[in-house]
Amino acid sequence: MLDIMLPFWGEPRYLYETVEAVRRQTDSRWHLTIVDDCYPDPAVSEHFESLDDPRITYTRNKVNLGITANYAHCVELATSDLMVLLGCDDIPMPNYVARILDDHDRFPHADIIQPGVQIIDSQGRRIKPLVDAVKRMTMPRARSRRLLGGEELAVSLLRADWLYWPSLAFKRETLASTPFRPGFPIIQDLALVIDVVAAGGTLLLDPHMCFDYRRHEESASSSALLDGRRFSGEQKYFALAQHLMLRNGWTRAARAARMHSTSRAHALALLPVAVRPHACWPHTRCAADSSCYSRVGWCAAPTLTLCSAGREPASCQWRNPVEEDLPRA
């Protein structure tokens, strides 16, 4: 059985789409709980009362808890061994529950499951934004199910967060024993996963597509990025992560936390086209390997440069496109 916990505060029409997507699952071994964080519209509760579906529970918090506290409340309410904190605007494909439960059967000791994800916009159309291209470039390669853990996984995630939080399935006992860190509402997902990994937990990466992740500018993380709060929160978190990795004796992971820079790519992806830099240089050569070319999205983001040879910036001495390649005014 999969406990699908759905913390809600947002646009009701997206919520209803998400709930209907859950009801279309080909595998019936699920229970959905909507946890309404005091959204100011009585029509939401009326909608779920009218559904009369025993597989769905609707509950409303007495007071507004906020994102992090509502997530924690969802964990408290869950009862199954496996659970999901589903986004209230995302769409699990009809095979989602079946695939997650099959993953769990095959890898029962995996603490976290990351299934294959496709991106949709606010209208439900498939899109390929820059930020998700970066995620796919930095995600570990997996043609089939791959179990990851230890410093290798920590390094990968601290270099670039390639996870899709609303699609992740967790062992309930793992979430119950790993509290959400206060003070990091925008990056709380990565912070929790890193804590799980640092404590010896593992993640199963399954490339099989079964989830549509909705990306639009109304999301909390996008809004925070545009007004600068994400940068501030990330700076504080990665300083903490560096300390945690050193305490674990994971020097490579600590270095990855210190050098983390891919949030700059996410910010650029959200900027209007009109204010993006004019020059776009498609490649820079990695001096450590003549066959290695690193794709650069925009000239204003030299730290986005990614070495396909897998080298860290200290050993992969790329040319800075801002300083060397741009035409002078």
Mean of the per-residue pLDDT values for the chain?
A: 81
Q: Any idea where the domains of the chain sit in the sequence?
A: 2-222, 279-329
Q: Please name the helix (run of DSSP H) or strand (run of DSSP E) that holds residue 73, with its range, or none.
A: helix 67-77
Q: What is the pLDDT of residues 5-41, one digit of tens each?
A: 999 999 999 999 999 999 999 999 999 999 999 999 9
Give the sign of the dihedral formed by CA 132, CA 137, CA 138, CA 143: positive
Q: What is the pLDDT of residues 267-318, one digit of tens each?
A: 555 555 434 443 333 333 333 333 332 333 322 333 333 333 333 333 333 3
Nearest C-alpha neighbor of 127 from the set 136, 114, 115, 118 = 118
Query: Which residues fall within 8 angstroms of residue 191, CB to CB, at 6 or more apart?
Result: 180, 181, 184, 237, 241
Q: What is the pLDDT of residues 273-287, one digit of tens each?
A: 434 443 333 333 333
Q: Which amino acid is at 120?
A: I
Q: Is the pLDDT of residue 323 over 90?
A: no
pLDDT of residue 170: 98
Q: Is the pLDDT of residue 158 over 60?
A: yes
Q: What is the DSSP string of 306-327?
A: --TT---TTT--B--HHHHTSP
CATH number of 2-222: 3.90.550.10
Nearest C-alpha neighbor of 310 from the set 328, 288, 326 = 288
Strands (E) in the chain, as ranges, are 2-8, 30-36, 56-60, 82-85, 91-92, 112-120, 146-149, 169-171, 202-214, 283-285, 293-295
Query: Which residues fall within 8 angstroms of residue 291, CB to CB, at 6 or more apart?
Result: none
The band of 229, judged by pLDDT with boundaries at 50, 70 and 90, is low
